[in-house]
Amino acid sequence: MPTEAGFNIKNDIPEKERCARKKGDIVRRIIASIIVVVIVWGAIGVGVGLYPIVPEEESTPKTLKLATGSPYELGLIDALSKPFEERYNCNVEVTKAGSGKSLDLGKEGKVDLVMVHAPQAERDFVMDGYGIDRCAVMYNDFVIVGPDNDPADIRGIENAAEAYEKIAETESPFFSRGDNSGTHKKERSIWNEADITPGGDWYRETGKFMGATLKIASEEQGYFMTDRSTYITMKEDIDLEILSEGDPDLVNHYSVIAVNPKRNPNVNYDLAKAFIGYITSPEGQEIIRDFGKDEFGEELYYPDAVVTAKFADLEASDDEVFKGRDTSYEPRPPYIVTGVGPVDDEPCWYCPEVDALYAPTFEVLDTDAAKGRYYMMTKTITLKDIVKFHGHDCEGLFHATCMCKLAMDELFPDGIYDRTDMRGMAGKSPCFCDVVMYLTGGRIRHGTFDMDPRLGHSIIIQRISTGEAVMASWRPGVNCVPINDVNPSPYEVWSAYPQPTTPVGKHIAREPEVSTDRLIELKTKLERYEISPEELTELRWLQIQHVEEILSHPLEESYQIKHLPDFRWESPGYDSIIRRNDIMFKNYPQMYSPSAATEEEWLQQEAPDLHKVSAGVE
């Protein structure tokens, strides 16, 4: 390999230091894997939910503000709150509101937590950055009740849309809550499925809660879609029967969502997180399972938490727990194992920079199929993988990769970059676009990647589940791009992207070994088609030296990040944007083989040997 005139492509890092770095990486990966295994077995052994249950030490009680509807009206929230309040020395303050109103209260920061049953509105709440840590908690189902004489003749009809059609055809009295609650949203979806716009004297909106509307329907001898739990508690006091039930679309899933403290700093996120942990733990799920049994002789709600299904025996099969459920925005499971695959950082002809001292690597997490679950293990991406994807090891590719590293470290402090939970933006540079798409998993087709020329040579990455967004760019002294509209002199702002003006930041402390002026001069000639073959060779070599110099220093010295607290993701303006389907079931229990009975069985039998399996060791 040539070494004259600075033509040593390898970094001038002593071999001893290289070996130490690689050994350090291996040790860190082994420790990370051990920690994960400890977490898994700890979760199984102590039976906690997604969050640790640790009593508060403060003597002054704190208040958790929760908004929900029927679960409070029927008394379930009181049953859950009492032991939680004792354990955490706090008060639970409940606002009775339907799902629509509850989510509005969350957006306004007037509550810390919502328990709702409106899946699409919940997804929008999370996607828009208002909520985080959305978890399934429980489910029941909706039923259509009516008078014994059944004027619409819907008795025994399972399909809800068909029952609605007969009610509309006969103009039999039908009562609606009309309050944008989860029940009202579900009712409207059924009318839409039946292609009917209800109206007239027979269709009556009460604007009241479930129990009150059920009483009115009974008094007026009309039809109403209620949740089964409310009907069970009131059936002795009303004159209505269940006439239509069993439609799979009427399974009614409840989720709990913490209000995002990044959007509303005044909320009590720590207490909200603890409450989520408690009600999704085996103890909380058992309270839900047993609630109402003694008084009414049957369950009012069925436990539905992911962790419960994996680590506790609550007499619920996987089919029962996950039927009809979309886990897209639930937190990832605790059993992910890192550092299993070998790290390909051996220098080669197409990427000699891959083993530089500060060359970034990425532990990424994906799903295992087009409609798949989370992989049990992460994959490691190095500069070589990015070069293979892009085609060559250009300067811009490495700049964008280093920016992504800093941004993703900020968004995922545990070092596992979840590619089901990111979306990104880049300027018009194909290098930057390729890197952001590859590392985040963003796709134009899914509306999770966009190109905005105003970004110039900055990038934006957003973590979908939290709404947190970070912009990354280079520091003065690293920029080797000719002045243009998106790289204005004297670089007083990061880019032309319409975010609050931010000073470009501190200039790099070191004196560059490569003349950035010469690089800009050669690039200007290149853009004008005035560059000679010799100058083209010089440009290529200076770019390699420039990258090697950057990767021999901590990345924070050459790049910088800033948070974008008011960032709003706008779906790219392209036709045929579709929902990303490979994340819909990502939290379903992962089984080692079709014959594995449970996730726990898989973990007991196979988890200790994951590294050997990956390495092909028998």
pLDDT in tens, 262-296: 889 999 998 998 898 889 888 898 999 999 999 99
The arithmetic mean of pLDDT across residues 30-49, rounded, is 34
Side chain identity at residue 359, one-letter code: A
DSSP-assigned beta bridge partners for residue 593: none
Alpha-carbon distance of 516 to 543, in angstroms, equals: 10
Q: Where are the alpha helices (DSSP H) in 172-227?
A: 182-193, 210-220
Residue 121: name the closest of 147, 106, 140, 99 by CA.
99
Burial 408-418 (b: 16+ CB within 10 A, else e): bbbbbeeebbb
Burial 209-248 (b: 16+ CB within 10 A, else e): bbbebbbebbeeebbbbbbbbbbbbbbeebebebbbbebe
The arithmetic mean of pLDDT across residues 438-446, rounded, is 93
pLDDT digits (tens, 9 = 90+) for 71-104: 999 999 999 999 999 988 999 999 999 999 999 9
Alpha-carbon distance of 84 to 30, in angstroms, equals: 37
The token duo for 295 is 């008084």
Whether pTM exceeds 0.75: no
Taking 80 as the threshold, does the pLDDT of residue 368 lie above it? yes
Taking 50 as the threshold, does the pLDDT of residue 614 lie above it? no
The arithmetic mean of pLDDT across residues 468-478, rounded, is 87
pLDDT score, position 12: 36
Alpha-carbon distance of 511 to 416, in angstroms, equals: 34
Pairwise pLDDT comparison (136 vs 352), residue with the higher score: 352
CB 225 within 8 A of CB 187: yes
pLDDT score, position 314: 31
DSSP-assigned beta bridge partners for residue 177: none
pLDDT digits (tens, 9 = 90+) for 142-199: 999 999 999 999 999 999 999 999 999 999 999 999 998 989 999 999 999 999 999 9
| Confidence class for position 434, pLDDT limits 50, 70, 90 | very high
| Confidence class for position 212, pLDDT limits 50, 70, 90 | very high
**Widest Cα–Cα separation across the chain:** 98
pLDDT score, position 602: 46
pLDDT digits (tens, 9 = 90+) for 407-416: 999 999 888 8
Burial 548-569 (b: 16+ CB within 10 A, else e): bbbbbeebebbbbbbebeebeb
Residue 333: name the closest of 371, 377, 289, 370 by CA.
377
Taking 80 as the threshold, does the pLDDT of residue 572 lie above it? no
Share of the chain above pLDDT 90, in %: 47
DSSP letters for 48-85 = --SS-------SSPEEEEEEESHHHHTTHHHHHHHHHH
- Three-state SS at 92: strand
CB 163 within 8 A of CB 191: no
Residue 481: name the closest of 441, 542, 522 by CA.
522
| Confidence class for position 51, pLDDT limits 50, 70, 90 | very low
Taking 50 as the threshold, does the pLDDT of residue 43 lie above it? no
pLDDT score, position 27: 38
Kindly tell me the burial class for residue 306, based on how many C-beta atoms sit within 10 Å of its own C-beta (0-12, 13-18, 19 or more): buried
- Three-state SS at 298: coil
